[in-house]
Amino acid sequence: MPVRVSIFLFCFVWITMAQLLAQEEKEKTTALKDLLSRIDLDELMKKDEPPLNFPETLDEFEYAFNEHGQLRHIRTGDPFVFNYKEDLHRWNQKRYEALGEIITKYVYERLEKDCNLKKEILPVDATEDEPKSFIYMSEDALTNPEKIMVLIQGSGVVRAGQWARRLIINEDLNSGTQIPFINRAKEEGYGVIVLNPNENSLEVEKVPDPAKKPSPDASDEPAEKRERKEERENKKKKDFYEKYRNPQKEREMEHIPIRENSTPEEHTLYVWDHFISKSLAKNVFIVAHSYGGLSFVNLHCCNWVSSPEPLDTLVDPMLNDCPRVSAGTEKHELTSWKSFHSIFKFFSDALKDHEDESSSSPVTTRSSHRIKNEDL
């Protein structure tokens, strides 16, 4: 009998302790939820991250391009440092993007001042108030009777005259911009047209809709459902804070599409119809990087691809009419620059193969090209 009483007492004490521990854990959880509900995480996070206000010029950033076209710090001579503030990745990324916008304007200046290209507004019949894009052209782009070169970058943040922003910032202007191609083309007698396929919309600050009603009060929700929702929200805020430290609220922006140029594909075809097809040149040469080449894969071409093989080594083709050769690099963004001399040799050889063509041969338009393919 005493043994049974001892076992009973032990079980009773154990159960009681478990209940007390559970109650204590519940009280701690409740206290934590109460604390989190009273903490404005947005305000707390703002204290950790510096304001998202960045310089608007290279001088203010204290960077400049040296005689080799490399971006270097004005005082130290060091390359650009991405991780400027430790453990603040988002802030560093925003700083990098701000510098990228300055780089874009800098390249535009070089296209106009050093390469003597002129800006052509798109659409050609744009009104004063509507969103606009533009391309760059040499003076003889439409009147050169022999040959023109069309340059098209890949997708993303890059704009007219750029191959890769990362290369411009971390390597040099030669590898990251189209400037060497433009200068070489002009030296060899080409007219030049530089497309701008990623300039597809006008970005404006979003105006709040006064007619939009606020979300309904959730006070009528069952308490258990509301608590689970609050827990999820608090966890989401906490996780976001731990990962990004302090996402400050930014202005809400909206994008107004540019007429007939709202996508890279639309832009490329628009420029073809309104400019390239109207050129007097007997020969049109396209240098298209990455995504920029999709609109022209059916034309006579050579595709320099990233590969560990030596430059110009033939690799397995994807299309029978477009041979693929190695660009001599495994870095995709470097393929255009590494293939620079081979590209111009390819164009030169192609010209020799077409020396007997009539000077009155029209430039192929999209409509005639499409009919030809349908007939076949």
What Cα–Cα distance (Å) separates residue 294 from each residue in 38, 154, 176?
54, 10, 21
Buried-exposed string 104-116: b where 16+ CB fall within 10 A, e elsewhere: bebbbebbeeebe
Dist CA 290 CA 335 (whole Å)? 9
Strands 71-73 and 63-65: antiparallel
Dist CA 272 CA 162 (whole Å)? 20
Dist CA 36 CA 16 (whole Å)? 30
Contact between 180 and 151 under an 8 Å Cβ cutoff? The reply is no
Dist CA 5 CA 248 (whole Å)? 64
Residue 194 backbone dihedrals phi, psi, to 5 degrees: -110, 115
Catalytic residue among 290, 295, 336, 339: 290
Tokens (6 digits) for 258: 């540019």
Q: Which amino acid is at 1?
A: M
DSSP structure string for 278-331? G---SEEEEEE-GGGGGGGTTSS--EEE--SSPTT-EEEEEETTEEEEE-S-S-
Cβ neighbors of 201 (< 8 A, separation 6 or more) are 131, 255, 256, 257, 258, 262
290 is catalytic: yes
Write out the catalytic residue numbers.
290
